Structure 1
Amino acid sequence: MKYVELILYRTYADLKAEAARGYLGMLWWIIEPLLYLGMFSFFFVYIRQQAGGRIVAFLLVGLVVWKWFASTLPACAKSIEGGVNLMRQVYLPKYVFPWAAALTNFFKFLIVFTLLLGFLLLSGVEPTAAWATLPLLVAAQFFFMLGVAGLLAAVVPFVPDLNQIITNMLMPLFFLSGVIFDINRIPEPFRPFLYLNPLAVLIADYRAVLIDGQMPGWAGLAATLALSCVLWASACALMRRFDRIYPKVLVR
């Protein structure tokens, strides 16, 4: 607990530094998903002639959730590697770095997610009792990302090329996570394989809750949280194992 203030301060400093870059600053957190939305909306509404209102909401939910994941994973993965200068000055448990990176992207997500809720309300979507489960979905996604990214962060200092692999794997994962399609409509022989992807299940749950007013799949949510605990425990074990080795490896 004594490192909580440090994590929060580092999160604040990272947000402030990122907002100061460029003339538009924080607006880029909103502009980027809107650019994706415009591109895919044009394709589905004008080229494939699908119903405009629902498909825009459908795409926007998927894109906002995906953008959070795609921003958090690389940032957390290189967080220990990027904290080498601070390591030289003072001892810190290495979990501080992925936590700070994850929280930085979490606060950016909250801004965009709030705008998403506003858009859905303005477009005629009525809030239901299912919306009360949104904090559970957000928490499940946060800890799932933290678990995966924590494992990567523990290994990246020894295998720097993983950063490039992560970047290149995001695009295939985009198409395997149901961002632009409904995984529940995939033919039966292939659907079970998509359900093995926790992110695809989470995106489907967000849409069920926000657009259809349905409760999320509790079994999938519980499985994601359980997997997140295992991943984060494994990440912490690796970080403790290499705790004193990281500064030596990273100064080379």
Structure 2
Amino acid sequence: MFAKVYRHLKRYNPYSIYAAKSELKGEVSSSYLTWIWWILDPVLFMLVYVFITVVVFRSSGEYLPVVVIIGLTIWNFFNKNVSISVRIVNTFKGIVSKIYIPKYMLILEKMYVNFFKMLISFGIVAGFVIAYHIPLRLQLLQCIPLVVLLFILTLSCCVIVAHFGVYVNDLYNIVQVILRFMFYLSGVFYDIGDRLGSRMLFGFDLNWLMTHCNPIAYLIDELRQIIIYGEMMDPWLFLYWLIISLALLGIGLFLMYRHENSYVKVV
């Protein structure tokens, strides 16, 4: 199967890249503020969540805007791609029913679009880091493997929900509920360590449970520790989530290749 995936990536990936570029150009051409929205969108959301955190939850922090923008950057990439992927085959049924294309290429096209926007959001993170006089350290290079892990994890979840989304019409609503639940448990607008401290649940440290059971919570927390505080990445926890992500991706691709001929009949 892996040889087949490699051949298909080599053959069809240019289509996904071209389609992603076309989508980005289409967004720019249909907006008065064009590409400025790609900057305004994460900044405005960050301001909203900072307001909620400070005013509603009465929390504060020296680097609160940086904490929030990092959380939103990771969450938006994961959330948008998974939400789109549930109905991706139905959305492109005109293409799927006429020509053959590996269905995960449709997912990759959307992921490329959102990955480009995530890079812009990371540029905003860099701006806040400079504004808050946070030192630039060599540890920042550790962000690269974490972003790669985020991409693999997101792709694996997208492929799985895309497969089952063909057969279960209500899956989109179920996924939205799960994503909402994950949002509040991932520490998007709060620091997990500060908020949970050493609280226990069923005999387990709650902070440990969050980072070992919720990959988005782990990625957000790890990136914050590296970017803001210059901490070293936990290699074992990284390897733990990388193995899980690759395993999920393998399962998703297996299911998609095995059943993709029946997708046309269902949609």
TM-score (norm 1): 0.91
Measured in 2, the distance between the counterparts of 1:9 and 1:128 equals: 35
State the identity as a percent.
27
Measured in 2, the distance between the counterparts of 1:170 and 1:19 equals: 28
Unaligned runs of 5+ in 2: 1-9
Per the alignment, in what secondary structure is the counterpart of residue 232 of structure 2?
coil
TM-score (norm 2): 0.86
The answer to whether the 8 Å contact 2:50/2:189 transfers is: no
Measured in 1, the distance between the counterparts of 2:257 and 2:49 equals: 44
The one-letter amino acid of 1:171's match is R
Unaligned runs of 5+ in 1: none
Query: Alpha-carbon deviation of 1:215?
Result: 1.5
Map of 1:234 onto structure 2:
251
Per the alignment, in what secondary structure is the counterpart of residue 189 of structure 2?
coil
Residue 164 (str. 1) matches residue 192 (str. 2):
no
The answer to whether the 8 Å contact 1:74/1:167 transfers is: yes
Range with bigger deviation, 136-145 or 101-110: 101-110
Choose from 209, 217, 225 the match for 1:193.
209
The answer to whether the 8 Å contact 2:71/2:188 transfers is: yes
Measured in 2, the distance between the counterparts of 1:243 and 1:44 equals: 45
Measured in 2, the distance between the counterparts of 1:75 and 1:212 equals: 34
Q: For each residue in 1:54-79, what CA deviation from the matched residue of structure 2 results, as whole angstroms up to 9, or x when unmatched? A: 11211221122112212121123322
How many pairs align?
249
Q: For each residue in 1:212-235, what CA deviation from the matched residue of structure 2 results, as whole angstroms up to 9, or x when unmatched? A: 011122112111111111111111
Query: Alpha-carbon deviation of 1:46?
Result: 5.2
Map of 2:149 onto structure 1:
140
Measured in 2, the distance between the counterparts of 1:44 and 1:161 equals: 33
Q: How does 1:87-166 map to 2 (within 5 A)?
A: 87-166=96-175
Q: For each residue in 1:139-160, what CA deviation from the matched residue of structure 2 results, as whole angstroms up to 9, or x when unmatched? A: 0111101101110011111112
Q: For each residue in 1:7-58, what CA deviation from the matched residue of structure 2 results, as whole angstroms up to 9, or x when unmatched? A: 211222222233334433443333332222212322444562624x411211
Q: CA distance change for structure 1 residues 80 and 172 in 2, over 3 Å: closer, same or farther?
A: same
